[in-house]
Structure 1
Amino acid sequence: MITPTITYHEFSGSADALRDPRTASPQDRTRRALILTALTLFIPGGAQIAAGSRALGRAALAVTVGCWFLLLLGAAFFFTMRGVLLSALTQPFIMWVAAALLAGLAIGWLLLWLDTFRLIRFATLAPGFKPIIAVTLIVLITLTSGGLGYAAHLVNQGREALSGIFSSGPSIPAEEGRYNFLLLGADSGEGREGVRPDSIHMISVNQDTSESIIFSIPRDFQNARFSEDSPMRQVYPEGYNCGNECIINFLYTEVTNQYSHLYPEAQDPGAEAMMEAISGTLDLSIHGYVMVDMGGFSELIDAMGGVTVETSGWVPYDGRHPETDRWGDWWFEPGIHTFNGDQALSYARSRKYSSDYNRIQRQQCIQQAMVAQFTPQTLLTRFTELMQASENLFETNIPQSQLGSLLNLAVDAQQHNPQRLVLGAPDFGPPSELFSTYPDFDRIHARVDELIANEGQEEETEDTATPENQAQENSDQDQTEPAEDSSAGSAPGPTPEHSDPAVSGDMPPADSDTAPAELTQPDGSPLTMEYLIEAEQAGNLAVLEEAARDNNECTPVRG
C-alpha cells in the first residue's frame, strides 16, 4: 500500500518520469496518458510542453491563446457593435480567410493529436486500457479536427452561395432614414408564358428605430404609376393603364419580353420595372429587390425545419381525397400548424372560396413566421440545407457588402410588430369599389405618410396606457390596420338569402359588436375536412365560403 503512493508522488514531482514513462508504474502510465489527452483537448500544446517538444507546444499554445482572444473579441463586438461584426463576417475575403483559418486549425490540431499519441507510448499501456485510450482519441479527433474541418467547409460553402446570390456593387444609402425593398414571389406555373410575380410586397424599415411597414399590392392592381426616372414612361406616360392586360403582375413578363432594351445595364429588366412601378405608386424610393422563386420556396422552409403559425378559418388546398384518393380539395383546419414547405406554399397561395385579400394576409403571415423563426440556432444547425436552398431560390440586386448591416437591422426589426397596408380592399373600401382597378393615388400617398408618421406610437401607448389615450390608440389602429371584422366581411361569404341555418350552426348575423358563432355541422358537431369535402361535392358553396371567411387571420408562432 505504501509503495504505489510513494511511486505516484515521485512520478508527480518528477519531470523525467512525465517525459519518460519507462520510469513510472503501470498505474502512473495510465494517469499520464489521461493527463496528456486532457491537455491536448483543453489546452492544445500543453501535452507537448509537458512531455514533448516544448517549441512545438509553445507555438500551439500561442495559437490557442490567439483563438480564445478572437472569440472573446467577437463576443464583445456581438453585444456592443453587432452590425460591424455581421458586416465583417459576410464579406467574401473575410469568409475566405475564416475558412482557411479553420482548415489550418483542423490540420494543426490533428498533428497535435498524432504527436500526443506518440507521447503516450501506446505500447507501454496496460492491455486493458489500450482499446479505451484508442477509442477516446478517435472520438476526440473527430470532434475537434473533424468539427473544425466541417466548419471550414460550411464557411466556404456560404461564401460561394452568398457571392452567387448578392451583387458586388457599393452599399446603398438609406433615404430619409428608411430602407425600402421590394419582395416578389415569382411563379412560372403551368400554362403561363414566362414568370409572373403573384406575390408583391414592399417592406420599408426605419433605419434608426427598426420599425417596419409592409405594403401589399394585389396582383390584379391596375394603372400603376412609374417613377419619374423610369424609362417605361416612354411606353406608358400615364401609367400602366392599358386595361385588363396591364395588371401589375403582367408587367414583369412584358418588360422582359418586349422592353428589356430600355434597361441595358440591368441584371433583371423586369424586376427593375417592377421597382419603378411600385415606387411611383407609393411615392417612395425603392433601394433594391428580392425575388423568390415560389417553386423553390418550399425548399427554404424545409431547410428551416418548417414554420409554425396559428390560424383561424378553414383554408382549402389541392390534395387527394382520404377515401377515394381522387384529386380535389383538402382543408387546413383552424389551430396551430407546423407547416413543411409544400404545406406552407399551399396555405399561402390558396384563394378559393375567399378573396385575394385573405391570400395576401396569409402570405404576410408566412413571411413573418419565417423571419421570426429564423434564429441563430436555425442558421447553425441547418446551414448546409439553407445555403443549398437559397442558391436556387433568390435573385436580388442587394450588394453583399451591405448584407451584414441589413441582417443586423432585420434582427432588430423582429422586436416590433409591423404596420400593414393593402392597396385594395378592405383597406381602401369594400371590393365593390374596385379600388385596385381604379386607384386613387392621392389617397395612397396620404395613407403611406400616415403610417410613417405613426411609427413609435405603439411603444408610447404601451408605456402610457390610460383610459384617455386608449380610444386614440384604437383609432390609430383602425387607420393603419384592417380590423378583424372588416377583413372577415371582405371575404365573399354567403348572403342571408343563400345561408343555410341548419348547416351553418344557426349563426347570428355578423355585426361589429357580436362575434360569429363557431361553425358546426347540422347535428351540432364541429366541422371536419370530410364534411367540407362532401359539401363541395354537393355544390353547397355557402358552407364552403362561410368556413373560409376568416382564413386570413393568422399569427406567427415565435420559436
Structure 2
Amino acid sequence: MRQAVVRTLFGTLLPGLGLFIGGRRRLGAFVMSLSIGLVVIGAYLGLARRDEVLALAVSPNQLLFATVVVVALGIGWVWIVVASHKLIRPVSPTYTGRLVGSLLVGVLCFGIAVPTTLAAQTVMAQRDLVGSVFQSEGNSKSATRPTVNRKDPWANTPRLNLLLLGADDGAGRTGARTDTVMVASIDTKTGDTSLISLSRNWMRMPFPANSPLHAKYPDGFWDPSRGNVEQPEFYLDAMYDTIPKKYHGVLGATDNEGADVVKLAASAALGLDIDYYMQVNLAGFQQIVDALGGVSVNVNYRVPIGGEYGLGPGANAPKPPSDYIQPGPNQRLDGFHALWFARGRYGLSDPSRQERQRCTIHAIVSSANPATLVTKYQQIAAASQQMLRTDIPQELLPAFIQLAMKVKQAKVTNIDLNKDQNFPTGKNPNYTAIRAIIEKALNPAAPKTGPIATASTPTRKPAGSTKKPTTATTTPGTAQNLNDACAYHPTNGG
C-alpha cells in the first residue's frame, strides 16, 4: 500500500505517470507529454510572448475562453488522479489500505480543485472588471478622446497625458465636485511620470479656442460682470457638475460630459493635450485600499479626520475634526485613514493636501506587488468596478498595461507650479507662467524660441526628462522626485 501511495503522489505531480505505471502506457505517455508541453508553452508565453498574454488578460471573450480551459484542465487532472490510483492500488487492499487510499485521493483532488476554482474565479473577476470599467470604442462615446493606431498607439505620442479626477459623488449628494484634479504626464518610452496638481479653487479656467465652451466662456470659467471677487461657484471643482447642467450636449455625444469639460479646461490651462481621464469615486477609494491590505505613507504633520469650517455661529458654526492622523514614519493606513490622509484639509493648506494626494497615489502604486495582486485580486477587482470611470477603450488596454509596468519601475516626480507667485489665492491664476513652468519641466533641453503655448492652442509636449533634487524641499518651478517629496521630514503642515 505504501508503494501505491508514493506512486499516486508522483502521478499527481506529473499527470500521466500513474497511468503509465498502472499499465496504460500509451495513454500515460500521451498525458505526460501533454502536461510537459503545456508547462513549456506556458513558460514560453510568459517569457517570450508577453504581449499576447497581456492582450488575453484584457479581452472579455478570451478571458471567458480561458476560464473554460482552466476548469477543463482541473477536471481532467482530478480524473487522472482517480484513474491512476485505481490502476496502481493493490488488487486486494485491506480496509485500512482502502481508507488511506480514499483519504489520499480525496486530499489530492481537493488540492487540485481549490486552486482551480480560485483561478477560474480570478479570471472571471478580471473579465467583469474589464467589461464594466473599460468599454470598447464602438460601445462608448467621448467628446475628447483621441484617435490612435491600435497596433502602435504611442507611435506619435511621446508623452501620454492622463487626467486623474477624484470626485465626491455618492449617496446623499445631488452633484459631484472634483476636489482632486491631477494630470499624470507619462514618457511613453521610459515610463518616467510627472504629476501636476491643479488647485480646486482655481478660477477663470480657460477653454481651447476650437471648443464650443470657449464661446460660452471666452474669458474663462467665471462671471466677469461680478468683478474680481471670490466666486466659489466658478471654482475648478464646480466645473464637472455645473457646466453639463447649464449647457448639456454642447460638446456632442459623450458618456461623461463633466470629465470632458475638465479635460478641455486642464488642457488649455496647462498647455498639454489631455488624452484620457481616470475618475475615482472617493467613497470607493477606501474599498480598494482595504483590498490592497492598506498603504504605507510617511505622515509629517497631524492630518485632520473630518471637520468643517462653517459660515458662522449657530447651525453653520465650525465643526472641529473628530480625530487626527498623528505624525510618524512609514505608517500603514487602512482605507478609511488613507482616504482622510489624502482629503483632510481642516486647518491646512490646499498645496499640502495636493502633496498628500500625490503621495497616496505613489503609495498605492508601490503597494501593488505581485503577491498582493494574486491573493487579493478578486477584492481589488470588485472595488475597482465600483469606483472607476474612464474613457480608455478596451482596445488599448494591452498597451496601457505595458506602459504601467514601465511606470512601476520608473521615476515619478511632482512639478511645482509656484503657488506663491502664480496663484496665491486661486482667483486669477497666471496660466501663461504655469504653462511655461510645465514646458520647461517636461522638456528642459528645448531651445527657448517661439511663443509659449496659449490657452486657446494647447500643444503636445515632446518627451523629456525631469530633474531630481536631493532634498525634501524644492525650488518653485522645478520637478521634485516623489521619493523625496513623500519622505519623512516632519513639518507643521503649512
Residue 257 (structure 1) aligns with: 245
* Pairwise CA distance, 1:135: 2.6
| 1:385 paired residue among 373, 379, 383 | 379
Partner residue in 2 for 1:373? 367
Q: Does 1:74 align with 2:62?
A: no
Counterpart Cα distance in 2 of 1:202 and 1:457: 15
The 1:132/1:339 distance shift into structure 2, 3 A limit, reads: same
Equivalent residue letter for 1:149:
T
1:412 to 1:83, Cα distance in 2 relative to 1, 3 A: farther
TM-aligned CA deviation for residue 457 of structure 1:
5.5
Structure (1/2) with the larger helix percentage? 1
8 Å CA contact retained: 1:316, 1:330 = yes
Q: How does 1:509-548 map to 2 (within 5 A)?
A: 548=492
Task: Please tell me whether residue 31 in structure 1 is matched to residue 14 in structure 2.
Answer: no
**Match runs of 1:53-452 below 5 Å:** 53-77=24-48, 82-83=50-51, 85-121=53-89, 124-169=92-137, 172=148, 173-174=153-154, 175-188=156-169, 192-242=173-223, 243-318=231-306, 328-335=321-328, 336-421=330-415, 423=417, 425-426=419-420, 428=421, 433-434=424-425, 436-452=426-442
Q: TM-score, normalised by structure 1?
A: 0.72
Tell me if structure 1 keeps the 8 A contact 2:366–2:408.
yes
SS of the aligned residue for 1:384 comes to: helix
Structure 1 residues 291 and 146, CA gap change in structure 2 (3 angstroms): same
Contact 2:442/2:466 (<8 A) preserved: no
Change (3 A) 1:327 1:121: farther
Normalization by structure 2: what TM-score?
A: 0.81
Q: Across the two proteins, how many residue pairs are aligned to each other?
A: 438
- The answer to whether the Cα contact below 8 Å between 2:467 and 2:479 also exists between their aligned partners in 1 is no
Q: Is the 8 A contact 2:278 2:390 kept in 1?
A: yes
**Cα offset for 1:458?**
4.4
- Please list the CA deviations of residues 487-541 of structure 1 after superposition, one character each: whole Å capped at 9, or x if unmatched: 9xxxxxxxxxxxxxxxxxxxxxxxxxxxx9x8xxxxxxxxxxxxxxxxxxxxxxx
Q: Deviations over 1:301-355 (max 9, x none)?
A: 0000000111211112149xxxxxx995312121131111011111111111111
Which of these residues, 433, 438, 443, is aligned with residue 453 of structure 1? 443
Closer, same or farther in 2 for the Cα pair 1:228/1:109, shift >3 Å?
farther
Q: Secondary structure at the match of 1:205?
A: strand
Larger Rg, first or second structure (1 or 2) = 1
CA contact (8 A) 2:416 2:477 kept: no
Percent of aligned pairs with the same residue?
25
Match of 1:6 in 2: none
SS at match of 2:477: helix
Deviations 1:173-204 (A, max 9, x none): 34540111101001036885311111001101
> Which contiguous aligned blocks of 4+ residues in structure 1 show a shift greater than 6 angstroms?
473-476
Structure 2: gaps spanning 5 or more residues = 139-146, 224-230, 308-318, 445-463
Q: Can you list the C-alpha shifts for 1:52-71, whole angstroms capped at 9, x where unaligned?
A: 43444244224312311222
**2-side partners of 1:211 and 1:369: how far apart?**
16
The one-letter amino acid paired with 1:99 is: T
Per the alignment, in what secondary structure is the counterpart of residue 447 of structure 1? Answer: helix
Verify the 8 A CA contact 1:315 1:548 in the aligned structure 2.
no
Q: Which of 461, 477, 480 is the equivalent residue of 2:478?
A: 480
CA-atom RMSD in angstroms = 3.0
Contact 1:200 1:217 survives alignment (8 Å): yes
